[in-house]
Amino acid sequence: MNVEIDSARLQFEIDHLASISENPPPVVTRVLFSEADLRARKFVQGLCRDLALSLREDAVGNLFARWEGSQKLPPVATGSHIDAIPNAGKYDGVVGVLGAIEAIRALQRAGFRPQRSIELIVFTAEEPTRFGIGCVGSRLLSGVLPPGKAATLRDRAGKSLEAWRKGAGYDGQLDSVPLAANTYAAFIELHIEQGPVLEKENLSIGVVEKIAAPSTLRMQLTGVGGHAGAVLMPERRDALTAGAEIALAVETAARTSGSPDTVGTTGVFQIQPGAVNSVPFAALLEIDVRDTQITTRDATLEKIEAAAAEICDRRGVRLEQERLNVDPPAACDAGLVQSIAEVCRKTGATYRKMISRAYHDSLFMAQICPTAMIFIPCRGGISHRPDEFASPEGIAAGVQVLAGVLATAASRSAR
Ligand code: GLV
Ligand code: MN
Ligand code: MN
């Protein structure tokens, strides 16, 4: 079978999707259920319809596009996300969605007939921008996020997931979202590496064996505001300076965890009222802590929480802290890892096995089916920035490997 990737067409689609953004180019911002996110979903659905895939959307907006196989067996799934954090680039998630569509198109052009159905999944809200936790769609599908708990998710303005999804036209029951065990025979996600390893080593493909463990803390600090001229320093109960000390404690805890893989980031720091002549009376912090090892990640979280309590106590600032998510790492399926490596060898793609420091919907799909990821290089390892870049050739190499792995998995009649 001669599977040829149409790189020019795929690049055109990537560029077009990037133009559907809340900000002017080159910035891509597509926050969950924004007007841009809803338009982007329509664009992807149109591409799926052109391939005669059958479409289904669930109550949280996960999209399933199926190429029907000749046998009634659990399908092979692939996919990723098209939501994008504020000030993002074109490739994060998108390569795994549009790349999967091109893989299916290329297999169709080559005359391939799947025995197992091949299903593309476009996951809702892989990015945590709206609700503070990432992978809302795959958490729900996998049962990691119970529907009752999902219904309580709120954005920073207090608007609920329920209100957001219903406003976007998704008004089914959240209870219907979790998938039964054995729904899928396999899940394979194509993604940019978002790190420097493949480029540095001049390799085409990363075969992911493990995904690092993410976690998120949210801290609401309430101090006492007042006139910047009139409130003297001994009287200050400044929420911003308490938050600033906490942000430094995050950095110290991550740097001194004993694990080179611990990373800590205070990515959200909002103050009120935000006026130059007013003492900040409130601060909201969202803190991201990750590690490949759960023990050092958890110890770091505890250190940060204890430091925050001590800092706020000392400064007379009220602290409410919440763990939004604390997830274990995921191991990829050894059989799928081997299958990706075999396809690389057959197609002549250079590869190495690696870990993913970023999280992905695969972290949660791995809980319900054999899962693995195919990484491709991105320039300078840069991601979550408008200058994120993956070359058309690099993307085509990843899509070629994805097509090969999907074809192999969809041809296996035994589970
Ligand atoms: C995913 O976008 C992550 O933050 O790892
Ligand atoms: Mn991302
Ligand atoms: Mn991503």
Sequence-ordered strand ranges (E) for 31-117? 54-57, 63-67, 76-81, 84-88
Predicted confidence (pLDDT) at residue 23 exceeds the cutoff of 80:
yes
Work out the percent of the chain whose per-residue pLDDT is above 70: 99
The answer to whether 169 and 41 are in contact (CB under 8 A) is no
pLDDT confidence of residue 414:
54
Q: CA torsion, points 31, 285, 303, 257, in degrees to nearest 10?
A: 50
* Mutational pocket test of ligand 1: of 131, 191, 194, the residue with most ligand atoms within 8 Å of the beta carbon: 194
pLDDT confidence of residue 5:
98
In angstroms, the Cα distances linking 109 to 76, 96, 288, 314 are: 19, 19, 43, 67
Give the number of the atom of ligand 1 that is nearest the alpha carbon of residue 357. 5
Q: How is the beta sheet containing 318-326 ordered, strand by strand?
A: 263-272, 282-291, 213-222, 318-326
The answer to whether 223 and 280 are in contact (CB under 8 A) is yes
Which residue's C-alpha comes closest to atom 2 of ligand 1? Answer: 127
pLDDT confidence of residue 181:
85
d(CA 227, CA 290): 39
How many whole angstroms from 413 Cα to the centroid of ligand 3? 31
272-286 mean pLDDT: 98
φ, ψ of residue 148 to 5 degrees: the values are: -60, -40
Predicted confidence (pLDDT) at residue 412 exceeds the cutoff of 80:
no
318-337 mean pLDDT: 98
Give the number of the atom of ligand 1 that is nearest the alpha carbon of residue 383. 2
Predicted confidence (pLDDT) at residue 243 exceeds the cutoff of 80:
yes
- Residue type at position 47: L
How many whole angstroms from 141 Cα to the centroid of ligand 1? 18
HSE at residue 382, side-chain half, CA atoms within 13 A, is 13
**Would you give the DSSP letter of residue 293?**
S
How many whole angstroms from 115 Cα to the centroid of ligand 2? 33
Instruction: Write out residues with Cβ below 6 Å of ligand 1.
Output: 127, 134, 358-359
- Predicted confidence (pLDDT) per residue in 36-88, tens digit: 999 999 999 999 999 999 999 999 999 999 999 999 999 999 999 999 999 99
329-356 mean pLDDT: 98
319-325 mean pLDDT: 98
Predicted confidence (pLDDT) at residue 410 exceeds the cutoff of 60:
yes
What's the predicted TM-score (pTM) here?
Answer: 0.96
- Predicted confidence (pLDDT) per residue in 371-397, tens digit: 999 999 999 999 999 999 999 999 999
How much is the mean pLDDT over the chain?
97
Tokens of 353: 């096995």
Our measurement of the distance from residue 277's CA atom to the centroid of its chain's CA atoms, rounded to an integer in Å, reads: 39
